[in-house]
Amino acid sequence: MAMSLHRLFSYVLGALVVSAAAHASAPSATSTAATSTLTGIAATAPTVGPSHQVGRLPALGWNSWNGHACNINETIFLDAANQFIFLGLADAGYEYINIDDCWQSETRDASTGRIVPEPSKFPSGINGIADQVHALGLKLGIYSDAGAKTCDGFPASLGNETLDAETFIEWGVDYLKYDNCNIPSNWTDAATPPDDDWYNSNSAIRYRQMTAALNQTGKPIHFSLCIWGTANVWEWGARVGHSWRMTNDISASWSSISSILAANAQHLDSVDFFSHNDMDMMEIGNGDLTLQEQRTHFAAWAFMKSPILLGTDLNNLNSTQLDIIKNAELLAFHQDPIVGTPATPFNATASAPSTSPPEFYAGRSSKGMHVFIINTNTTATKTFDFANVPGLGFGRFRVQDMWTGKDLGTFANEFSITVDTHDTAALLIHRA
Ligand code: GLA
């Protein structure tokens, strides 16, 4: 998607903007380690963590950005909410309807200082949409930014965390996506963070201030850090929010999807309950991804336990695409109530070549052991040894196709399957 002039301007000028209020608004710290050598903002920044009443499992929902960018108004959110019910997506577990950038008026309210929803786009206000979304049994998400302006140049929350958190909660918002554009120069990170811990970096503190402000409202809210894999966020993200973006923005292309897979595959040990690497919003229905690429996009986001936020006009999805995003077995793995960890790469056979991203992943769910095989190249037969799947061992195993639910038979020692170009095989394995 071409970058608007306004947006380009925000990116370029952002680093130069200095917010005088930026350092003033930190809520008081709840605890600081006695042995800490921290000074300045790192010593006084709040350390309160995110609510654990929400965000245990990776989020399932819809977000406006990939499909609509800034061309938004309240109708598209209410339409997405109604489609959640009509298409059976709510029954499948999708619950968040998330507003992205460009919902705001250009300036804050002169007397209250609050961010104002642009009345020409949102005549009912955000609270009006929240009421309607809640009436359907769904939840509403909103967007702000831990900088001087949002990525598209609208009012953002750095220095106004308390007021904005209170405002969002008052409107009935259940989820906050918090972006990383237009960072004032006094908030940039040193090459090495204080105490060599990126939790103490200025980047982390910009987000920690919002965690504390949200916490002070007393209402649990899902907090999504849109920090693009900077400041080693996977090391500290779970102390600040429920999920964190791992990369720059996705696009509807195989190269984008495979580079996100490659980056995220290196940090899967950060993923567990309340702790989710965010691989960015879905592109199913956008661009010209092949059917196989759309299957891999969904399967990998599910088995790596990323939030899955659909990013297209739901009216345009065909029945094959709907079957992909409603696949009960993959969603059950993603939303497993007992096992919080994702599937992780393993060496399929003694002679398996290494690829980027890795092709073979294994992980447990409450139903048993699963193997996922991504074909990063052209159609080929893929083979793995059962004994190489961590925790499986030698013997005979029954293999089931998670896409179709079909029993593929019982096998000893190894299993082979033909996987199309850029497709993913998804298997459930039980000892026979
Ligand atoms: C950034 C984020 C995107 C989207 C846009 C909105 O680029 O990474 O996901 O929120 O800003 O301007």
366-423 pLDDT tens trace: 999 999 999 999 999 999 999 999 999 999 999 999 999 999 999 999 999 999 999 9
Residue of 188, 195, 424, 211 lying closest to 329 (CA atoms): 424
Give the Cα-Cα-Cα angle 145, 33, 266 (nearest 5 degrees).
55
> Could you give the CA distance from residue 394 to residue 387 in angstroms, rounded to a whole number?
5
Which amino acids are annotated catalytic? 179, 249
Residue type at 158 in one-letter notation: L
Q: What is the mean pLDDT of residues 258-284?
A: 98
Cβ-contact 53, 189 below 8 angstroms: no
Among 98, 249, 278, say which to mutate for ligand 1: greatest number of ligand atoms within 8 Å of CB: 249
Cβ-contact 104, 116 below 8 angstroms: yes
Report pLDDT digits (tens) over 152-171: 999 999 999 999 999 999 99
- Tell how many helices (H) and how many strands (E) occur in the chain: 13, 16
Cβ-contact 132, 119 below 8 angstroms: no
User: Would residue 396 be called left, alpha or beta, if left means φ above 0 and alpha means ψ between -120 and 50 degrees?
Assistant: beta
Model pTM?
Answer: 0.93
Q: What is the mean pLDDT of residues 132-156?
A: 98
pLDDT of residue 174 exceeding 70: yes
Among 71, 101, 227, say which to mutate for ligand 1: greatest number of ligand atoms within 8 Å of CB: 101
Q: What is the mean pLDDT of residues 330-351?
A: 98
Q: pLDDT-based confidence at 26, cuts 50/70/90?
A: very low
CB of 100 sitting under 6 A from ligand 1: yes
Please report, in angstroms and rounded to a whole number, the separation of the first and last CA atoms in the chain: 50
> Could you give the CA distance from residue 256 to residue 201 in angstroms, rounded to a whole number?
28
pLDDT of residue 173 exceeding 80: yes
Question: What percent of the chain has pLDDT above 90?
Answer: 91
CB of 249 sitting under 6 A from ligand 1: yes
Q: pLDDT-based confidence at 248, cuts 50/70/90?
A: very high
Report pLDDT digits (tens) over 29-77: 444 455 678 999 999 999 999 999 999 999 999 999 999 999 999 999 9
Cα dist from 44 to 200, 324, 390, whole Å: 10, 47, 44
Domain with CATH 3.20.20.70 in the chain: 5-245
ω before 357 within 30° of 0 (cis)? yes
Cβ-contact 233, 181 below 8 angstroms: no
Q: Residue 1: what pLDDT?
A: 37
Q: Whose CA is nearest to atom 9 of ligand 1?
A: 249
> Could you give the CA distance from residue 201 to residue 240 in angstroms, rounded to a whole number?
13
pLDDT of residue 22 exceeding 60: no
Domain with CATH 2.60.40.1180 in the chain: 344-431
Q: Ligand 1 center to residue 152 CA distance, Å?
A: 8
Q: Residue 8: what pLDDT?
A: 47
Q: Whose CA is nearest to atom 12 of ligand 1?
A: 151
> Could you give the CA distance from residue 106 to residue 343 in angstroms, rounded to a whole number?
44
User: Would residue 351 be called left, alpha or beta, if left means φ above 0 and alpha means ψ between -120 and 50 degrees?
Assistant: alpha
Residue 109: Cβ within 10 Å count: 12
Match domain 344-431 to its CATH number in 2.60.40.1180, 3.40.50.300, 1.10.10.60, 3.40.640.10: 2.60.40.1180
CB of 101 sitting under 6 A from ligand 1: yes
> Could you give the CA distance from residue 117 to residue 167 in angstroms, rounded to a whole number?
11
Tokens of 257: 């999807």
Q: What is the mean pLDDT of residues 4-28?
A: 37
**How far is C-alpha 312 from the chain's CA centre?**
16
Q: What is the mean pLDDT of residues 135-161?
A: 98
Q: Residue 35: what pLDDT?
A: 64
Q: pLDDT-based confidence at 14, cuts 50/70/90?
A: very low
List of residues 6+ apart from 309 with CB closer than 8 A: 59, 60, 61, 62, 63, 96, 98, 281, 282
Lowest mean pLDDT among 93-97, 262-266, 286-290, 350-354: 350-354
Q: What is the mean pLDDT of residues 255-273?
A: 98
Ligand 1 atom nearest to 226, measured from its CA:
8
Sign, CA dihedral 171-223-245-115, equals positive
> Could you give the CA distance from residue 130 to residue 151 in angstroms, rounded to a whole number?
24
CB of 278 sitting under 6 A from ligand 1: no
Mean pLDDT of the chain: 93
CATH code 3.20.20.70 for 5-245: yes
Express the helix, strand and coil content of the chain in percent, nearest 5 each. 30, 20, 50
Q: Ligand 1 center to residue 205 CA distance, Å?
A: 20
Residue of 173, 176, 229 lying closest to 203 (CA atoms): 229
Cα dist from 112 to 19, 107, 123, 142, 145, whole Å: 19, 12, 19, 20, 19
> Could you give the CA distance from residue 235 to residue 210 in angstroms, rounded to a whole number?
18
> Could you give the CA distance from residue 131 to residue 201 in angstroms, rounded to a whole number?
38
Residue of 315, 326, 310, 403 lying closest to 59 (CA atoms): 310
